[in-house]
Amino acid sequence: MSPITVQPADLPLACLYRWERERPEAVYLSQPMRGGQVLDFTWAQAASQVRRMAQWLQAQGWPAGSRVAIIGKNSAHWILADLAIGMAGYVSVPIYPTFNGESLSYILLHSDSKALFVGKLDGTVNLQTGVPPGLPLIALPLAPTMHAHQWTELVNATSPLSASPEPAGESISTIIYTSGTTGQPKGVVHSFNSMAWGVTCATRRFPMDSSDRYISYLPLAHVAERMLIEQASLRYGGHIFFAESLDTFLQDLQRARPTVFFSVPRLWVKFQQGVHSKLPAPKLRLLLRLPLIGHLVRRKILKGLGLDQCRIAAGGAAPMPADVLKWYRQLGLDLVEVYGMTENSGVSHSTLPGSQQTGSVGLAYDGVETRMDPANGEIQMRCPALMKAYYREPELTAAALTADGWLRTGDKGVLDANGFLSITGRVKDLFKTSKGKYIAPAPIEDKLVTHAAVEACAVTGAHCAQPFALVMLSPDAVTQSQTPEGRTLLETSLEQHLQRVNTELEPHEKLDFLAAVTQTWTPENGMVTPTMKVKRASVEALYAPAYERWSHAQKKVVWADSSR
């Protein structure tokens, strides 16, 4: 296999100019608007708006390389704003729409952002508390009503930039602030080259072209969506559809019928549970074994999910349960597992198409080197998709990158003789029980969240005789728990699930009990990150005072919120 190199034509703005020139009338972006309308942007229309906004940004007179931030849910204009920032010679700073006012303020001040694009949001409270006085705001078309420059007015009043600037590949493209589970967000600095190399690398294994359709719904502030949706569509000329809301997501999927679809494991599980609610698992297994009927059932289920045209289906950001992978593969969807992080452009490992593999995240992509730290089993990797640094954090950068360019991932893992990598947890998540036994919580949590009532969980119990788990209930389960009958049924189901999970664990890992949580853990209350990773320190600080009481209750299911 030839080495992977990045050519100037691979960089995102060069790709935009190419499609503007070669496919001006092809639709690039399809955005649901208020009132049920869908607004389509051709490549020519998209490039025109980008050029006009870039001209306006340049007219502000900020120094080259200045940072300009974007906050908002996914939309066509989010991508147009990002491209305009780069075309103007500036650096984009994407911000999760769920960051609270404190985190928003920190990022805007730490990055010294000169302006903030504001897109779709659920409200403006965080803007009111988090935006520094005097910072210019540019409201995208679906933004809440606010006092700000209006995208449409600026675009209509500004002539398009006539030049087609192409920043140097090693210049800074973006600073992606991580939604870390500890401490302040860290600004991951990526160049145009690092992200372009990542696209080339990943699509050697999963080829794409201009006929591909994508649906954008995971935060564009997250590296996975940025790479798979924005960067890949620019490279190969694909068509991006946007989801309108969580309530309309299934209809949005059916409208887009994506050929490429990535999701976190929890959504893949929810899709499965939705199918089982209409067609119980035993009956489905029976039907799938029937030659002709099985084929029809597979097609009907995938079409109902909007995935009947999907040829690249992937799960990541957390481990995929093996039975879920097998279930989708039995439906004819070749679901693969991918592994990466913000610091390496999301490009590290994946299972191979058609491999039917479970239990690992597969092999390193071409050009990615992997090794294990012999001291603690930490995964380290190296490739040209790595970040330049953490912005303005030399000590944190030195802690994350070795002198010879290896990234310390913070993940523990095992490499087998064939190079297949299995993730066993986070280095810092290990804890010791009072019996002196170490517990890796992540593999146990992966088993717990397969229950339909469990939305999120945290295995804990440092210095206790046995570990236990806090399980945050789904909205439906919370509603069920509000009646005595419903609570009893839920307790029985959770007890049975606990028993099943414990049969798969070593004696020192077996969970003593489950603490059912009816309070929702959100980014706003500090219990989870914007990507829904549990902040263990925050969860333990909130619930630790009740641990001893729960243990003394000697029940397999306790109710956390009522007994704290």
Cβ within 8 Å of residue 272, ≥6 positions away: 324, 327, 328
| pLDDT of the residue at 445 | 87
DSSP 227: I
Amino acid at 520: T
Q: Is the pLDDT of residue 562 over 70?
A: no
DSSP 228: I
CA dist 490 and 492 (Å) reads 5
- List the domains of the chain with CATH numbers: 8-17+48-208+216-237 (3.40.50.980), 265-308+310-426 (3.40.50.12780), 430-563 (3.30.300.30)
Characterize 417-426 residue by residue with b for buried, 16 or more Cβ atoms within 10 angstroms of its Cβ, and e for exposed: eeebbbbbbb
**Radius of gyration, alpha carbons of the chain:** 24
| pLDDT of the residue at 563 | 46
| pLDDT of the residue at 1 | 65
For CA atoms 243, 302, 500, 263, the dihedral sign is negative
Tens-place pLDDT, residues 185-200: 899 999 999 999 999 9
Q: Is the pLDDT of residue 181 over 60?
A: no
Phi first, then psi, for residue 469 (nearest 5°) are -135, 140
- Specify the residue for token string 């719904």: 217
| pLDDT of the residue at 183 | 67
| pLDDT of the residue at 109 | 97
Tens-place pLDDT, residues 248-267: 888 899 999 999 999 888 78
Tens-place pLDDT, residues 351-374: 998 887 888 899 999 999 999 998
Residue 352: CA count within 13 A, CB half-sphere: 8
Backbone region of residue 302 per phi and psi (left: phi > 0; alpha: psi in -120 to 50; beta: other values): alpha
Angle at the Cα of 18 (from 15 to 22), degrees rounded to 5?
145
From residue 240, alpha-carbon distances to 54, 70, 79, 283 in Å are 22, 19, 10, 36
CA dist 256 and 380 (Å) reads 37
Backbone region of residue 35 per phi and psi (left: phi > 0; alpha: psi in -120 to 50; beta: other values): left
Backbone region of residue 333 per phi and psi (left: phi > 0; alpha: psi in -120 to 50; beta: other values): beta
| pLDDT of the residue at 564 | 41
Q: Is the pLDDT of residue 454 over 70?
A: yes
Cβ within 8 Å of residue 44, ≥6 positions away: 20, 24, 25
DSSP 508: G
Tens-place pLDDT, residues 393-447: 999 999 999 999 999 998 888 999 889 998 887 777 777 787 777 788 888 888 8
| pLDDT of the residue at 377 | 86
| pLDDT of the residue at 73 | 95
| pLDDT of the residue at 368 | 96
CA dist 88 and 115 (Å) reads 13
| Other Cβ atoms within 10 Å of 242 Cβ, number | 27
Confidence class for position 182, pLDDT limits 50, 70, 90: low
Q: Span 507-517, mean pLDDT?
A: 91
Cβ within 8 Å of residue 159, ≥6 positions away: 52, 55
Residue 292: CA count within 13 A, CB half-sphere: 0
For CA atoms 443, 447, 448, 454, the dihedral sign is positive
36 or 93, which is more confident? 93
Tens-place pLDDT, residues 60-75: 999 999 999 999 999 9
Residue 71: CA count within 13 A, CB half-sphere: 28
The two tokens of residue 112 are 């010294």
User: What's the chain's length in residues?
Assistant: 564
Residue 71 contacts residue 104 (beta carbons within 8 Å): yes
111 or 292, which is more confident? 111
| pLDDT of the residue at 180 | 60
| pLDDT of the residue at 252 | 92
Could you give the percent of the chain with pLDDT greater than 70?
A: 98
| pLDDT of the residue at 276 | 85
CA dist 224 and 231 (Å) reads 10
Angle at the Cα of 549 (from 544 to 555), degrees rounded to 5?
115
DSSP 172: E
| Other Cβ atoms within 10 Å of 416 Cβ, number | 10
The two tokens of residue 342 are 């913000």
Could you give the percent of the chain with pLDDT greater than 90?
A: 61
